Amino acid sequence: MAAVGSGGYARNDAGEKLPSVMAGVPARRGQSSPPPAPPICLRRRTRLSTASEETVQNRVSLEKVLGITAQNSSGLTCDPGTGHVAYLAGCVVVILDPKENKQQHIFNTARKSLSALAFSPDGKYIVTGEVSRDRD
């Protein structure tokens, strides 16, 4: 668990200094843009296939997400049936099981940052939305 120490840095259990990541406020004209997405940890899968059409996503897996990019309450939701919490981290939806402290990840195939998410009433589905920057 990381805690914010002096100087605006977070410290993990090992005592290492880590830059703190804070969720920003939606950018408006004349204001600075929101902070960058939090770092993600990738690790190589142990077995690689030799298929030439293999993509990078098939060769690496997301180990853990540190941080959140939700700029308002639309980027954070809870399934009351299971207690799972879903939140946004860039183009990734993180589903956290707080009882087990385990994460599952869903990637946005368009690789665009997501801005909203919600569980379906039965808890079987998660719907996501993004804000288009294009003004065609």
pLDDT value for 135: 58
Total domain count for the chain?
Answer: 1
CA 19 to chain centre: 17
Q: Is residue 115 part of a domain?
A: yes
3 state DSSP class of 122: coil
Identity of residue 79: D
Q: Is residue 14 part of a domain?
A: no
Q: Is residue 44 part of a domain?
A: no
Tokens, residue 24: 């920003």
Can you give the residue range of the structural domain that contains 122? 67-136
pLDDT value for 70: 85
pLDDT value for 110: 74
pLDDT value for 13: 47
pLDDT value for 109: 76
Q: Is residue 71 part of a domain?
A: yes
Q: Is residue 88 part of a domain?
A: yes
Q: Is residue 92 part of a domain?
A: yes
For 31, which DSSP code? S
pLDDT value for 10: 45
- List the chain pLDDT tens, one digit each, 136 residues: 444 444 444 444 444 444 444 444 444 556 566 677 667 666 665 555 555 445 665 677 778 888 888 888 899 999 999 999 999 998 899 999 999 999 999 887 777 888 999 999 999 999 999 887 765 5
Q: Is residue 53 part of a domain?
A: no
pLDDT value for 54: 57
* Matching residue, tokens 């004209």: 29
Q: Is residue 102 part of a domain?
A: yes
